[in-house]
Amino acid sequence: MSPLGPGYHLGTLIKHFNTDTILAAPNKLGVLNQILLTHDYLRRENLVQNLKIVLMGQKKPDLSSESNTFTLLQWIPNCQVIEFPYMGPNAKSRASVRKNATKFQMDLNTLFPF
């Protein structure tokens, strides 16, 4: 529900374009609350079709990161949860993402087939 302008937010765009939704959040303490609240909004608005959740790895993961994926799969059935590894402090460029994807043997096209 991040505001994007006067009278509309990201949920408004999702509803308008009727698109798949990817929820991305840091895999750390508090992420369950963040994802579950967002999922509740999407469910109420009938926007949960083809929902994917991406948990972003942290440089120094806390204990909750070990069970967050399992817990989300229990609370939100029929949802894909993807754990994306921490890719370093300079992972901002497309080239860096591609380099790290190879390093972690990940195929970004499989994760996000746009």
User: Residue 77 domain-assigned?
Assistant: yes
pLDDT digits (tens, 9 = 90+) for 81-97: 988 888 777 777 777 77
In a domain, 11, yes or no: yes
Q: Answer whether 76's CB lies under 8 Å from 53's CB.
A: yes
Pairing mode, strands 51-56 and 3-5: unpaired
Tens digit of pLDDT for each residue in 31-77? 999 999 999 999 999 888 888 899 999 999 999 999 999 999 999 98
Residue 15: closest CA among 43, 54, 36, 34: 43
pTM of the model: 0.81
The answer to whether residues 72 and 35 touch, using CB atoms and an 8 Å cutoff, is yes
Provide the CATH number for the domain around residue 63: 3.40.50.300
Residues 6+ apart with CB under 8 A from 45: 11, 15
Residue 83 lies inside a defined structural domain of this protein: yes
How many structural domains is the chain composed of? 1
Residue 95, in any domain of the structure = no
102 domain-assigned: no
